[in-house]
């Protein structure tokens, strides 16, 4: 028997949840299909548990600095097992919360993995082997992405980021493969929890796509803390035994690194496996589903949002895309998501965050003579007494002709919180003079953004 809905959403992650609840609020009858827990990458195996691990690992720095502020802390040691257990408990709570919110919104949660049988029909396979057939006027694909393993011998012996949240304990040494934000964040987390970390980076710098000067500041701090970063290094093979947790990573140069675990943070790809898109005629470009500004695929009535479209793969973007879809289709309030000005952050230690153009992007668009760069580099006041730790970097990229701030970047504690507010000013077209006219809040790190000399 076919069950009929106004909208079927494939995937109960950030974008799918936002779209389903918003569409239901307009009176649509909505089914959301999910074969895993509700919450998606961000809540279950991404942003939320990762940030909790960041908080936990950062206590290493806090406790190390405590004596300089008059707190005599006895020798302590990390207990990663307790932290990991508590993080999993919080994820379980959030999963239950999101299930409850769906129920409150009147959205039908259909457990199982969905696949297209036709352009308006989805078959859902449940864990017990049973199947349900759903039909709807519109179908929204919001299945997100999954970590990608490199094609090398023994890749299945390594962890991907999802696996780290399931660990009961941590080994003494880990090799982290990758130079992106996931690799850098977990390298810092593991190091803070007492793990010896070696990071292999294929290129010549970390965090491609972020402001280069800012990434160098992060690199400097990571290396100063004791993380060994090897550039122009890639793994050729992984060998060893999972049970005793003894592995050897052989690099392309033939070097062999012994460790207790290998994290393969080598990117993510849209999760198209099992969707049977060909049955609906949905076009795929590379490994992503291309959509227009209204989230439409090439098939009328089939839409896609979030990481499966592989545009700006951030949780708030997926949420806004999902809501924009529902507002436009069911709320009769057409709108499109602006992907041009999106703040982003790396929760490394120290944090890196930015909004707008990097210095490199600004030079590419306006020429070296068409921009001005203002920066401040100093040790934050909270490190004055310990007299150690990474220096803060604050940076404004300004268009010379108009004085408009094109980009705002920061490396340091609370960088993401500060840049979130700066994003409002940059989005409104603020000039350097507007920043200069703003009275400083002293003493604070953020005041440097409004006191930089011309």
Instruction: Give CA separation, 112 vs 92, 119, 124, 132, 338, in Å.
Output: 18, 19, 6, 9, 33
Helices 14-25 and 315-329, axial angle in degrees (round to 10): 30
Angle 352-322-274 (CA atoms, 0-180°, nearest 5)?
Answer: 95
Is cis: bond before 172, omega within 30 of 0?
A: no
Token pair of 65 as six digits: 């600095």
Q: Looking at residue 439, what DSSP letter applies?
A: P
* Residue where the block lists tokens 């307790």: 82
Distance separating alpha carbons of residues 186 and 192, to the nearest angstrom: 10
Beta pairing partners, 11? none
Length of the chain: 454
Contact 133, 1 (CB under 8 A): yes
Instruction: Show the tokens assigned to 76.
Output: 């302590």
Q: What are phi and psi for residue 238, nearest 5 degrees?
A: -125, 130
Which of 191, 339, 374, 442 is an active site residue?
Answer: 442
CB 408 within 8 A of CB 419: yes
- DSSP alpha helices (H): ranges in 258-340? 315-329
DSSP state of 386: T
Q: Catalytic residue at 414?
A: no
Q: Which two tokens stand for residue 289?
A: 């589903």
Taking every pair of Cα atoms in the chain, the longest distance, rounded to a whole number of angstroms, is 71
Q: At a CB cut-off of 8 Å and minimum separation 6, what does 132 contact?
A: 3, 110, 112, 123, 124, 126
What is the C-alpha to C-alpha distance for residues 299 and 288, in angstroms, rounded to an integer? Answer: 15
Pairing of strands 173-177, 352-356: unpaired
Residue 206 contacts residue 218 (beta carbons within 8 Å): yes
Contact predicate 176/265, CB 8 Å: yes
What distance in Å separates the CA atoms of residue 288 and residue 282, rounded to the nearest whole number? 11
Single out the residue of 349, 347, 372, 353 nearest to residue 436, CA to CA: 372
Query: Annotated catalytic sites, by residue?
Result: 442
């Amino acid at each position: 028997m076919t069950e009929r809905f106004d909208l079927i959403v494939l995937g109960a992650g950030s974008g799918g949840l936002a779209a389903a609840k918003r569409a239901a609020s307009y009176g649509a009858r909505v089914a959301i299909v999910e074969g895993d827990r509700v919450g998606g990458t961000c809540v279950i195996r991404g942003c939320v548990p990762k940030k909790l691990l960041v908080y936990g690992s950062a206590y290493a720095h806090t406790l190390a600095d405590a004596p300089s502020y008059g707190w005599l802390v006895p020798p302590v040691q990390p207990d990663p097992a307790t932290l990991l257990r508590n993080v999993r408990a919080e994820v379980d709570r959030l999963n239950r919360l999101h299930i409850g919110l769906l129920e409150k919104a009147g959205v039908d949660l259909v457990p199982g993995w969905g696949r297209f049988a036709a352009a308006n029909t989805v078959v859902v396979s449940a864990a017990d082997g049973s199947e349900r057939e759903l039909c709807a006027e519109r179908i929204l694909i919001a299945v997100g992405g999954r970590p990608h393993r490199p094609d090398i011998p023994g890749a299945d012996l390594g962890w991907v980021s999802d696996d780290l949240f399931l660990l009961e304990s941590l080994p003494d040494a880990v090799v982290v493969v990758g130079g992106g934000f996931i690799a850098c964040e977990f390298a810092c987390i593991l190091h803070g929890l007492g793990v010896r970390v070696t990071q292999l980076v294929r290129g010549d710098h970390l965090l491609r796509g972020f402001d280069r000067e800012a990434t160098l500041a992060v690199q400097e701090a990571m290396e100063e803390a004791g993380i060994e970063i090897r550039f122009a290094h890639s793994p050729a093979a992984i060998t060893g035994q999972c049970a005793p947790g003894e592995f050897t990573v052989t690099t392309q140069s033939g070097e062999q690194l012994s460790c207790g675990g290998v994290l393969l943070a080598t990117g993510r790809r849209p999760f198209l496996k099992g969707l049977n898109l060909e049955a609906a005629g949905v076009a795929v470009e590379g490994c992503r589903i291309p959509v227009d500004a209204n989230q439409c695929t090439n098939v009328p009535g089939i839409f896609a949002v979030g990481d499966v479209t592989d545009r700006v793969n951030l949780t708030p973007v997926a949420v806004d895309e999902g809501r924009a879809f529902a507002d436009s289709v069911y709320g009769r309030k057409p709108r499109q998501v602006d992907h041009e000005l999106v703040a982003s952050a790396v929760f490394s230690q120290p944090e890196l965050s930015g909004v707008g153009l990097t210095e490199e992007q600004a030079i590419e668009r306006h020429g070296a003579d068409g921009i001005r760069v203002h920066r401040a580099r100093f040790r934050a006041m909270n490190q004055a007494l310990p007299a150690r730790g990474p220096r803060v970097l604050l940076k404004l990229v300004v268009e010379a002709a108009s004085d408009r701030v094109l980009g705002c970047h920061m490396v340091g504690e609370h960088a993401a919180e500060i840049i979130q507010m700066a994003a409002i000013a940059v989005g409104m077209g603020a000039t350097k003079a507007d920043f200069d006219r703003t009275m400083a809040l002293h003493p604070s790190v953020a005041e440097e953004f409004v006191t930089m000399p011309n």
